[in-house]
Amino acid sequence: MRYLASRLGHLLAVLFSVTILTFVLVNVLPGDIAYDIAGLDASEKEVQAIREDLGLNRPVFIRYVEWLGGVLTGDWGQSYRTGEPVLEAIMSRFPVSLELVIIAQVIALLLAVPLGVISALRANSRFDRVVAVAGFFCLSIPNFMMAIILIYVFGLWLNWLPVTGYEPISEGLWANLRNFILPASSFALAEWTVLARVLRSDMIGVLQEDYISMARAKGMPVRRILWVHAMRPSSFSLITLLGLQVGALIGGSIIIESIFALPGVGRLLVGSVFARDFLIIQGCITLIAVAYVVINFAVDVCYALLDPRVRTARSHG
Amino acid sequence: MASATTQERLDQTGNQEQENQAAQAAARKRARYGPFFWVPLIWLGTIVFCAAFADILPLQPNDEMDFTAISSPPWEAEGHIMGTDLQGRDVLSRIIYGARVSLTVGIVATVIGMTFGLMIGLLAGYYRGWVETAITLGLDTLLALPALVILLLASVIFGGSLTVVSVSLGFLLIPAFARVSRANTLNFAQREFVVAAKAMGARDVRIIVLEILPNVVLPVAAYALVVVAFAIVVEGALSFLGLSVPSPMPSWGGMIAEGRESLGETPHISFIPATVMFLTVLSFNLVGDALRSKLADLRESAL
């Protein structure tokens, strides 16, 4: 418990310093946002009024404290461009990004689990080596490049799937899903190799345990040994990694959502950076940092729950 | 039938594991000096050579538009071996000049990240206590920030240029190096030779620089080439979004993005730079991995 409490304290401190750092960064953006809002032919007085209105001429520190107070009470400010409340703007795009990340993870798992298990079972066979080399190649393809390849092959050449756009789920499940297949695959086709590697090495270890020999000795079918007895202890690192990869996917969604014109948080963020809509930027980064902290804490809790050694060892040390 | 062979495999897995480890080590040794090491090394050498001597190589100018050959595929128009892009500029020449951007950013950012990462990791690992707590907090903060967003912000704030991209990317690479460096410092800070130096009255700076640093540098530097590959990918993503070096200057990511407009008709405009970038990243990964496992073996045998 003490270990978890100190982890939580640390992660909250991280969250706090992320918001300070972003606030400072975003506030040194060049160009006066008040001029942008007022338009080209506004008088100095009007600009001054807008600045006053937005509170731009007060010190950064004061504005930060006010912003933080607002965030804690659910008021994340408003977009300078559209006047839309920040929290609403982000939350309306959030489901799209979430769906993208989940579908990407599902595709990655569909590839990684069978390949990882068979590689472990036939360690150092030709199959194992081919998978390892293929993985190495896939890892060297940046996700935006993978996106271009997928667009070319499945969108333009085979003409199977749409290359841009988004349909809400109310238009039907398939109409909604087909727009996510290519973007999600752009992530998954590189990510599976990380997952498969971890699963393979854990599985090789587990297959040497005595209880596996025991199960084998009593003549239990291999399929049952693999999926029931070996899979569960082998999947622990896999699940941890799956959680941690979400962070990488959130970062990558910025570029993938832009390429495939998916209206998610990543695309909102890129648009806002170009438009210097800084309360939106601030809100998005805060949300991403919150996600990072929550995932990390969840991973820590899992470790402590599943492995009592972690709890005791770390709280003493 | 299939399950019978699977059963056999399962039976063998346990018994063979020790042999396998020896076989694996041998395989690694072979692979290290095999084609998976030399071919990427030669490719990297070629890229570096071309980028370094781009000005004196017999290339077409990289910014001149040839209106007689717009978007012409490789080998078709005279003088354009790799064809031309949407504005009739020579693709080969732009790739080689683009290599300068990728390599510069990749290497400079890695050097910055490694230098500061090493120093910070040494301090955290040697002093422990509140120094370590503060440094860990700072590093975790950097890790919690979405890297690409920070780079976007930096290039909007300071304008996209080689210096801005290299420095801000280098900054974001600090945590990775600092973690490796801290872990290794923790390991060495309690060894006999450090204790001996302390007992003889050496000051902290002397111990860190003369006793610990030489031992920590190698394991940290072993990651450098793989990090260069990563940095090249991130620069690629940034220039793909149009936020790395300014427009007429060629960059691989920028070229890939430009070709998207007519991907169906003239795929070579995107795919040639994409292939070059892929091969370069793959080569850095392969060579880096081989060197890293060689260093790991060296250290094991030294202990």
Examine the domain organization and report whether A112 and A230 are in the same domain: yes
B104-303 CATH:
1.10.3720.10
Partnered with residue A78 across adjacent β-strands are A85
Does residue B55 register a pLDDT over 90?
A: no
Amino acid (one-letter) located at A90: I
Tokens of A6: 């100190």
- Mutation target to probe the A interface, by most A beta carbons within 10 A, among B8, B10, B143 is B10
Examine the domain organization and report whether A65 and A157 are in the same domain: no
* CA–CA dist B239, B252 (Å, integer): 8
Among A248, A151, A156, A157, residue whose Cα is nearest residue A194: A248
Examine the domain organization and report whether A85 and A181 are in the same domain: no
Examine the domain organization and report whether A259 and A110 are in the same domain: yes
Which helix or strand (DSSP H or E) is residue B196 part of?
helix B192-199
Number of neighbouring beta carbons within 10 Å of residue B280: 27
By mean pLDDT, which of A204-218, A227-241, B213-227 is the weakest? Answer: A227-241
Has residue A56 been placed in a domain?
Answer: yes
Partnered with residue A85 across adjacent β-strands are A78
Write down the mean pLDDT value for chain B.
83
Examine the domain organization and report whether A123 and A44 are in the same domain: no
* CA–CA dist B280, B275 (Å, integer): 8
Has residue A36 been placed in a domain?
Answer: yes
Tokens of B75: 């080998």
Does residue B216 register a pLDDT over 50?
A: yes
Does residue A315 register a pLDDT over 90?
A: no
Does residue B11 register a pLDDT over 50?
A: no
Has residue A26 been placed in a domain?
Answer: yes
Write down the mean pLDDT value for chain A.
83
Cβ–Cβ gap A145/B17 under 8 Å = no
By mean pLDDT, which of B39-53, B121-135, B284-298 is the weakest? Answer: B284-298
Q: B250: which DSSP letter? A: -
**Is the model more confident about A255 or about A82?**
A255
Could you give the C-alpha distances from B193 to A24, B41, B196, B202, in angstroms and in order? 44, 38, 5, 11
Has residue A256 been placed in a domain?
Answer: yes
Buried b (16+ CB within 10 A) or exposed e, A159-171: eebbbeebeeeee
Examine the domain organization and report whether A117 and A128 are in the same domain: yes
Question: What pLDDT is attached to residue A206?
Answer: 86
Examine the domain organization and report whether A40 and A163 are in the same domain: no
Q: A1: which DSSP letter? A: -
Does residue A314 register a pLDDT over 70?
A: no
- Mutation target to probe the A interface, by most A beta carbons within 10 A, among B8, B13, B227, B265 is B13
Number of neighbouring beta carbons within 10 Å of residue B200: 7
Terminal-to-terminal C-alpha distance of chain A: 14
In this complex, is the C-beta atom of B228 within 8 Å of any C-beta atom belonging to chain A? no
- The total number of structural domains that make up chain A: 2
**Tens of pLDDT, residues A156-174:** 888 888 888 788 877 778 8
Tokens of B193: 């030779």
Find the CATH number of the domain harbouring A156: 1.10.3720.10
Question: What pLDDT is attached to residue A311?
Answer: 56
Q: Is the ipTM of this complex over 0.85?
A: no
**Tens of pLDDT, residues A72-125:** 888 888 887 788 888 889 999 988 998 999 999 999 999 999 999 999 988 888
Tokens of A41: 């032919």
Domain end, chosen from A245, A263, A281, is at A263
Which residue on chain A is closest to B226 by alpha carbon? A140
Q: Which residues contact A146 (CB under 8 A, 6 or more apart)?
A: A185, A186, A189, A190
Examine the domain organization and report whether A64 and A146 are in the same domain: no
Examine the domain organization and report whether A162 and A232 are in the same domain: yes
Q: Is the dihedral of CA B264, B267, B270, B276 positive or negative?
A: positive
Does residue B117 register a pLDDT over 60?
A: yes
Q: What would the mean pLDDT of A50-55 be, rounded to a whole number? A: 71
* Closest CA of chain B from A5, distance in Å: 15
Domain end, chosen from A91, A113, A129, is at A91
Could you give the C-alpha distances from B213 to A37, A314, B131, in angstroms and in order? 54, 27, 18
Per-residue DSSP letters for B95-119?
A: HHHHHHHHHHHHHHHHHHHHHHHHH
For chains A and B, count residue pairs whose Cβ atoms are closer than 8 Å. 142
Rounded to two decimals, what is the model's pTM?
0.84
Instruction: Give A 100-139 residues with CB within 8 A of chain B.
Output: 121-124, 136-137, 139
Does residue A14 register a pLDDT over 60?
A: yes
Residue A259 domain boundaries: 94-263
Has residue A311 been placed in a domain?
Answer: no
Tokens of A286: 């805060």
By mean pLDDT, which of A92-101, A232-241, B174-183 is the weakest? Answer: A232-241
**Is the model more confident about A232 or about A181?**
A181
Q: What would the mean pLDDT of B44-59 be, rounded to a whole number? A: 89
Question: What pLDDT is attached to residue A80?
Answer: 77
Examine the domain organization and report whether A110 and A222 are in the same domain: yes
Q: Which of A46-55, A213-222, A226-235 has the highest mean pLDDT?
A: A213-222
**Is the model more confident about B76 or about B267?**
B267
* CA–CA dist A286, A250 (Å, integer): 13
* CA–CA dist A283, B220 (Å, integer): 35
* CA–CA dist A195, A205 (Å, integer): 16
Q: What would the mean pLDDT of B146-150 be, rounded to a whole number? A: 83
Question: What pLDDT is attached to residue A238?
Answer: 83
Q: How confident is the model at residue B21 (pLDDT cuts 50, 70, 90)?
A: low
Examine the domain organization and report whether A111 and A249 are in the same domain: yes
Examine the domain organization and report whether A201 and A102 are in the same domain: yes
Question: What pLDDT is attached to residue B274?
Answer: 94
* CA–CA dist B220, B217 (Å, integer): 5
- Mutation target to probe the B interface, by most B beta carbons within 10 A, among A25, A140, A216, A254 is A140
